[in-house]
Amino acid sequence: MMKIAIAGATGRMGKMLIEAVLNCSDAELVGALEHESCPLLGEDAGAFLGKKTGVVTTSDIAKALTGAEFLIDFTRPEGTMAHLAIAQKTGCKMIIGTTGLSNTQIESLK
């Protein structure tokens, strides 16, 4: 079973990803990451679906990545780059859907 964390968890794409993970028998949601001023911090990541996941939305990337094999990132370029640095240290693989990356940022991802 793939253990997945989602960055940008309360955004449009993040919600779609959470729903997809919850409906996938081969995946488990283990982390939901958002920015520090998100009003949904501390809420269950599946609340918008009326489902309890036991995963609390957090702004602490280390906490969100605990036990994760993959981080799916749909955030802003600066957030993606910060998440990448931490994911690399933990060995968590990233799937990046962020748009608006600069050429320099894209090169550093290669």
Please give the backbone phi and psi of residue 5, each rounded to the nearest 5 degrees, phi first: -115, 150
For the chain, what is the domain count?
A: 1
CATH of the domain at 6: 3.40.50.720
Can you point out the beta strands (E) in 1-110?
2-7, 27-33, 57-58, 70-73, 93-96
- CA gap 71, 18 in Å, rounded: 12
Q: Is the pLDDT of residue 110 over 90?
A: no
Tokens found for residue 88: 């690399």
At 23, give phi and psi (nearest 5°).
-90, 0
Instruction: Identify the residue with better confidence: 1 or 108.
Output: 1
- What per-residue confidence (pLDDT) applies to 49? 86
Has residue 84 got a pLDDT over 90? yes
Tens of pLDDT, residue by residue over 23-79, are 999 999 999 999 999 999 999 999 988 899 999 999 999 999 999 999 999 999 999
pTM for this prediction: 0.93
Q: Note down the domain range covering 16.
A: 2-109
Asked if pLDDT for residue 109 goes beyond 90, the answer is no
